[in-house]
Chain A
Amino acid sequence: MNAPDRFELFVLPPDTEKLTVTQDTKVPNAAVFKIYLEDHTLGNIIRCQLLKDPTVIFAGYQQPHPLENYILVRIQTAPQNNPVAAFQHCLAELQKEFASIYSQFETQLAPHGWRTADERREM
């Protein structure tokens, strides 16, 4: 009855930005990133990747409400770094990680008798 429309999970509401950055006014080198239309899938990998960075003092994420489709990622870094740079580095590392999984997966397909998506379409 009052269930939210399912398309709200991937259609950005009007007058909202996908990403907003808010600097923390009380803690030095801290910021909160509000990311719309993302959930635990991305939140958790970002958090885990940030925690591997030695210059990151704090990294956490939350989805404040299950019916509101955004996550908050909070980062506090050591003075030699800053949250935006740490976040950027983290995303680049994740990008590399998934690219490596992709290429390794692809090379494993043929020896195990699977076709890649492209090869299958050409048939």
Chain B
Amino acid sequence: MTFSLEGTDASIANALRRVMIAETPTVAIHFVRIENNTSPLNDEMLSHRLGLIPIVYRGDVRQLNSNRDCDCQGNCARCSVEFELHVRNDGEDTIEVTSHDLRALSDMAVPLDDETLPRGILICKLGKFQEIRLTAIATKGVGKEHAKWSPVSTAVFQYEPSIRLNYRLLDELSPQDRQNFVGSCPARVFEIQDGRVVIPDVYRCTYTEECMRWAEQVGKPDLVTVKQLEPPRFRFSVETTGSLKPAEIVQSCLITIQEKIRKIEDLLVTKQEEQQLPQ
């Protein structure tokens, strides 16, 4: 998903980005009890791979208790989801163990099942008579603690460039020179349509300023100017791992930031009462 943000400054945009990556809660496998593992992967490697599988939680992840703070001993339905994996290869051919073999013991969560991944996510391969039998517990967490809880694969923002072309000067160029001007940009920002230089997508610009350098070399420094748009506009691009939808991530991250600010606001009020700070 992409969206643009304007009327604010880079600090807000960066806070959004940072919270999306590191502080938006999701569910991921955190504890694994291995009962039998005769696969070529060792237990640690297997557990690590299980942890990285995106888990889709069918409820509000934010309502789930953190396993660390839950009043239960160990784990319960309010703070975790249990999974089971039992695969044994009795055939001759090597088989693949994928996320489809991971079975949830409750209907609150499922491993990512996406039509673009019909075979699921490969966990391990099993040779003849090899077996994996384990139970796994998924808990809530944030990307700060371990990247497996980060709901995004990319969350980036870009400043919108402002590219101004001087068409009067451009028209003075010969068609060959116009072609050379278009070719000067390594990011291919410019194109020629019906003999006119056009910009199909300003966001292709990477601020190399090669076009301005070219214009200077031909003695027409006013031909083109490339700047950041003022006041700035940011284009966000959010791509998820599949555990949450992009819109959910943005909403959740905004709630997280507001909660953080609220917490400090509340503490400041109690501090004022305790320390008799000036109002």
Contacts and interface: CB of A to CB of B under 8 A. Distances in A.
Interface of A: 6-7, 9-11, 18-21, 23, 35, 38, 40-42, 44-45, 47-49, 82, 84-85, 87-88, 91-92, 94-95, 97-99, 101-102, 105-106, 108-109, 114-117, 120-121
A42 B260 contact: yes
Interface of B: 1, 3, 5, 8-9, 11-12, 14-16, 18-19, 22-23, 58-60, 68, 142, 144-146, 245-248, 250-252, 254-255, 257-258, 260-265, 267-268, 271-272, 275, 277-279
Main secondary structure of the interface of B (DSSP, over half): helix
Nearest to B245: A120
A87 B18 CA distance: 22
Q: Which of A19, A23, A38, A45 has the most CB of B within 10 A?
A: A45
B145 A91 contact: no
15 contacts: A6-B145, A18-B264, A19-B271, A21-B277, A40-B18, A41-B14, A42-B264, A84-B279, A91-B264, A91-B268, A94-B261, A98-B258, A102-B258, A105-B254, A117-B247
Nearest to A6: B145
A31 B1 CA distance: 42
Nearest to A117: B248
B115 to A, nearest CB: 17
A101 B59 CA distance: 24
Given A95-B261, A95-B262, A114 B1 contact: yes
A92 B58 CA distance: 33
B278 A82 contact: yes
A84 B167 CA distance: 54
A81 B9 CA distance: 25
B261 A10 contact: no
Nearest to A49: B11
A101 B5 contact: yes
Given A97-B12, A99-B258, A101-B12, 16 more contacts: A6-B144, A7-B68, A38-B264, A42-B264, A45-B11, A45-B15, A49-B11, A87-B268, A95-B262, A97-B8, A98-B261, A102-B254, A105-B254, A114-B246, A116-B247, A120-B245
Contacts of B23: 41
A6 B68 CA distance: 13
Given A10-B142, A117-B247, A84 B261 contact: no
A121 B63 CA distance: 12
A11 B12 CA distance: 25
A9 B19 CA distance: 14
B3 A121 contact: no
Given A10-B144, A95-B258, A95-B262, A88 B247 contact: no
A101 B111 CA distance: 32
B251 A105 contact: yes
Contacts of B8: 97, 101
Nearest to A18: B267
A115 B275 CA distance: 46
B262 A114 contact: no
Contacts of B255: 102
Nearest to A115: B247
Nearest to B21: A41
Contact of A42 (B142, B246, B261, B271): B261
Nearest to A39: B18
B278 A84 contact: yes
Contacts of A20: 271
B74 to A, nearest CB: 17
A79 B205 CA distance: 47
A38 B260 contact: yes
